[in-house]
Structure 1
Amino acid sequence: MDCLTAIHTRRSIRDYTAAPVTEAQVETLLRAAMAAPSAGNAQPWEFVVVRDAAMLQVVAEIHPYARMAPKAPLGVLVCGDVSREKYPGFWPQDCAAAVQNLLLAATALGLGTVWTGIYPVEERVAVFRARFRLPERLVPFCFIPVGHPREAKGPVDRFDESRIHAEGV
């Protein structure tokens, strides 16, 4: 699948089959994520791969928008490592770029994902930090359930010319 097709067909998928996601697929997703640009090339990301069904259930219990996590064969907790920042305050942008790469790579592999935000909601950050025993330097950014889609969603055209401005608003 070419890049533009992945961009235009990527959709949030919340229902998955029981088919496993292979280690090779996980590595492909994480390689794509780590190929993202970052401020000062700091690459301030860490990834926690979750396959344990009990932990996926915990995610569903502690995150109001991740109720689908137990339906997925795995999830990826994306964290920002603030100790690696070269330019303080840019880690969320860096992690967002990594997440988008991961989502697009999943689409290209025929996998389904959904981005469930954690940061900047302090209550979510605190509960994920506690449940995953994260050190203070790691800020949980988002959780991404990953699996083979049970549902099929077509592309959506979100282009809106009214949001394009030349030389100022």
Structure 2
Amino acid sequence: MDAIFHRTSVRKFLDKPVEKEKIEKILRAAMAAPSAKNQQPWEFYVVTDKEKLVELSKVSPYSMSAKNGPLAFVPCYRTQCPAPAYTHIDLSASVENILLEADALELGAVWLGVCPEEDRIATVRKILDIPDTLVPFAIIPCGYPQKIRPQQDRFEEERMHYVIS
């Protein structure tokens, strides 16, 4: 899978909307992620409202790029699910799928953390009017990248440990 070795965090986007078909493909990829007890605790907000994107860009010192793209995904998890202790793991797998599918569709995206910071959760909840039954997990600005740069090679053989018989 080339996207794993091609994907980079993209924070600057062209002024070009993302096609609805691509948004749906990205969300299909997100919902194809594995989850504990197959609980699939996710729900997704797709934000294209420019004012809301500007508000989301102020959620943390690291979220400025939210205002630069044509859209942002805001994955949330349900508070009521069979394995609540694993929702962060489930959503992490889902977000990684979003990033990989965006890259495969020649889009760029970046994962901006919301969870577990309570102040960020409350701010995103207020901006998007998210009900108490859902917890905002991340903000993922997405769009056509202004430029493509190569991914750095992060492989370090000394971090591999074999346990063999």
> Which structure 1 residue ranges, 5 or more long, are not aligned?
none
Moved over 4 A (4+): none
**Bigger Cα displacement from structure 2, 149-158 vs 110-119:** 149-158
- 1:68 match: 65
- 1:94 match: 90
- 2:103 equivalent among 91, 102, 107: 107
- 1:143 equivalent among 135, 139, 142: 139
- 2:77 match: 80
Whichever residue aligns with residue 76 of structure 1, its letter is: F
Shift of residue 155, structure 1, vs aligned partner: 2.0
Whichever residue aligns with residue 137 of structure 2, its letter is: F
Whichever residue aligns with residue 18 of structure 2, its letter is: V
Structure-1 separation of matches of 2:60 and 2:142: 16
Whichever residue aligns with residue 26 of structure 1, its letter is: I
- 1:39 match: 36
Contact 1:7–1:104, Cα closer than 8 Å, also in 2: yes
Structure-2 separation of matches of 1:64 and 1:78: 20
Contact 1:9–1:156, Cα closer than 8 Å, also in 2: no
Query: What's the secondary structure of 2:85's corresponding residue?
Result: coil
Query: What's the secondary structure of 1:136's corresponding residue?
Result: coil
Shift of residue 128, structure 1, vs aligned partner: 1.1
Whichever residue aligns with residue 136 of structure 2, its letter is: P
Q: Given the two structures, how large is their TM-score scaled by the length of structure 1?
A: 0.93
**Bigger Cα displacement from structure 2, 63-72 vs 145-154:** 63-72
Shift of residue 162, structure 1, vs aligned partner: 1.8
Deviation sequence 1:125-161 (CA, Å, 0-9, x none)? 1111122221222111100000000022102110112
Whichever residue aligns with residue 87 of structure 1, its letter is: A
Contact 2:52–2:128, Cα closer than 8 Å, also in 1: no
Structure-1 separation of matches of 2:69 and 2:100: 17
> How many residues in Structure 1 have an aligned counterpart in Structure 2?
164
1:118 maps onto 2:114 in alignment:
yes
Shift of residue 23, structure 1, vs aligned partner: 0.4
- 2:25 equivalent among 20, 23, 28: 28
